[in-house]
């Protein structure tokens, strides 16, 4: 069935995920949804020095929010921060240098952040697509460490902070690529078979959808959502998917178009009128499975994913300083 899933997903992508898809969908947007003042609210955006993350941070800053940029590369992050401050006039932009693929570092950051700041909205945007199997210093496969475990640790570590606030939200930037993957809990670190970075990334993105659904059930007073930004022209796409980029570069969305639904989910009152735990594309909840694609998982697999990630998480917490 994988050929079927891949073909249906790509045809769907050509129609909906490109710039043309955004232009068509945006005709039905209500501009007033995002014309809001969020001064006094605190937002944390990971992977905020480029692409969707930077575009999101910039739009939130324009609306007066306090924005915490969580980035891996200090030099690029400082340039991004300066650009955001200059373009928006918002001085309440703070920088934190954290490698989301390093679970000990994520724990250390989150515990410090919890003691020093408030948080209304968490945007899990940081991600990577490594095309050859690569291990972190902790022996973790790098895509899994960044996209899944890092997202899990940061979110669960910051839940106590979010629980304190009214209208708390968690938004995770996933991908439509997850539609071609069924949750596979037997090989979370891609140790078996031929390594395909694109499919590993897609599996991680399916895992993020499951995480969002599970968190939404467990934490009723926080609004969780996960979204697909469409196919956007970002540095990550150019570096990780050069062949795809060359074929599609004239049809890709801008970074701001890719970030539009993240911003809508982060600031609009309308987003939280919809149930928690949904998957969004162009400001609308959409299905998490293609028709006839056989990607549904039994509930016990989804629960097992949460258990395994919690075990991983606590293992690294016990060895982290602070």
pLDDT, residue 1, reads 56
Q: How far apart are CA 262 and CA 55, in angstroms?
A: 10
Q: How far apart are CA 153 and CA 318, in angstroms?
A: 13
Known catalytic residue at 251: no
Q: What are phi and psi of 127, to 5 degrees?
A: -160, 170
Q: How far apart are CA 2 and CA 184, in angstroms?
A: 14
pLDDT, residue 133, reads 96
pLDDT, residue 321, reads 46
Which pTM was predicted?
A: 0.96
pLDDT, residue 245, reads 72
Segment among 2-6, 22-26, 190-194, 275-279 with least mean pLDDT:
2-6
Q: How many CB atoms lie within 10 A of CB 3?
A: 8
Q: How many CB atoms lie within 10 A of CB 224?
A: 25
Q: Is the dihedral of CA 183, 184, 190, 196 positive or negative?
A: negative
pLDDT, residue 322, reads 44
Least Cα distance to 250 among 17, 19, 26, 15 occurs for 19
- Total residues found in the chain within this entry: 322
Question: Are the C-beta atoms of residues 201 and 141 closer than 8 Å to each other?
Answer: no
Helix (H) or strand (E) holding 170: strand 168-173
pLDDT, residue 184, reads 96
Question: Are the C-beta atoms of residues 148 and 204 closer than 8 Å to each other?
Answer: yes
Model confidence pLDDT, tens digit, residues 93-104: 999 999 999 999
For the chain, the helix, strand and coil percentages under 3-state DSSP, each to the nearest 5: 50, 15, 35
88 contact partners, CB below 8 Å, separation of at least 6: 58, 61, 62
* CA distances (Å), origin 164, targets 11, 120, 224, 273, 316: 44, 9, 15, 20, 25
**To the nearest whole number, what is the mean pLDDT of the chain?**
94
Is residue 251 very low, low, confident or very high in pLDDT (cuts 50, 70, 90)?
Answer: confident
Is residue 218 very low, low, confident or very high in pLDDT (cuts 50, 70, 90)?
Answer: very high
CA-based angle 283:289:292, to the nearest 5? Answer: 140
Choosing from 17, 22, 201, 251, which is the catalytic residue? 201
Q: State the DSSP code for 146.
A: I
Is residue 209 very low, low, confident or very high in pLDDT (cuts 50, 70, 90)?
Answer: very high
Interval 108-127 mean pLDDT: 97
pLDDT, residue 99, reads 98
Partners of 226 in the β-ladder:
172, 279
Partners of 122 in the β-ladder:
44, 170
pLDDT, residue 318, reads 60
Q: How far apart are CA 309 and CA 153, in angstroms?
A: 8
- Whose structure tokens read 């075990």? 311
Q: How many angstroms separate the first and last alpha carbons of the chain?
A: 48
Q: How many CB atoms lie within 10 A of CB 4?
A: 13
Structure tokens of 37?
A: 């003042």
Q: How far apart are CA 207 and CA 186, in angstroms?
A: 13
Q: How many CB atoms lie within 10 A of CB 198?
A: 14
Interval 103-118 mean pLDDT: 97
Relative to beta strand 284-285, strand 121-124 is: unpaired
- Whose structure tokens read 């003691």? 115
Q: How far apart are CA 42 and CA 262, in angstroms?
A: 15
pLDDT, residue 320, reads 42
Domains and CATH numbers, the chain: 3-315 (3.40.50.720)
Model confidence pLDDT, tens digit, residues 9-49: 777 877 899 999 999 999 999 999 999 999 999 999 999 99
Structure tokens of 154?
A: 């940061």
């Amino acid at each position: 069935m994988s050929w079927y899933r891949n073909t249906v997903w790509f045809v769907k992508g050509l129609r909906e995920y490109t710039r043309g898809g955004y232009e068509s969908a945006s005709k039905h947007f209500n501009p007033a949804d995002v014309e809001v003042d969020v001064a006094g609210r605190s937002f944390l955006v990971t992977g905020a020095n480029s692409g969707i993350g930077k575009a999101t941070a910039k739009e939130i800053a324009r609306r007066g929010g306090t924005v915490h940029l969580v980035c891996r590369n200090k030099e690029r992050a400082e340039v991004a921060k300066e650009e955001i401050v200059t373009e928006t006039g918002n001085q309440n932009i703070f920088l934190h240098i954290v490698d989301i693929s390093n679970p000990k570092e994520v724990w250390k950051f989150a515990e410090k952040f919890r003691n020093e700041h408030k948080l209304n909205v968490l945007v899990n945007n940081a991600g990577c697509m490594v095309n050859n199997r690569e291990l972190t210093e902790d022996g973790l496969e790098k895509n899994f460490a960044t996209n899944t475990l890092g997202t899990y640790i940061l979110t669960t570590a910051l839940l106590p902070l979010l629980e304190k606030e009214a209208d708390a939200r968690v938004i995770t930037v996933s991908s439509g690529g997850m539609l071609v993957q069924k949750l596979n809990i037997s090989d979370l670190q891609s140790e078996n078979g031929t390594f395909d970075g694109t499919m590993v990334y897609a599996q991680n993105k399916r895992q993020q959808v499951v995480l969002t659904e599970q968190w939404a059930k467990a934490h009723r007073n926080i609004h969780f959502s996960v979204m697909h930004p469409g196919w956007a022209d970002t540095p990550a796409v150019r570096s990780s998917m050069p062949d795809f980029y060359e074929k599609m570069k004239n049809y890709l969305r801008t970074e701001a178009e890719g970030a539009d639904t993240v911003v809508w989910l982060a600031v609009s009152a309308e987003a939280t009128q919809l149930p928690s735990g949904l998957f969004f594309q162009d400001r609308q909840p959409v299905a998490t499975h293609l028709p006839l694609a056989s990607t549904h998982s039994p509930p016990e697999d989804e629960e097992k994913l949460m258990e395994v990630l919690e075990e991983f998480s606590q293992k690294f917490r016990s060895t982290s300083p602070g």
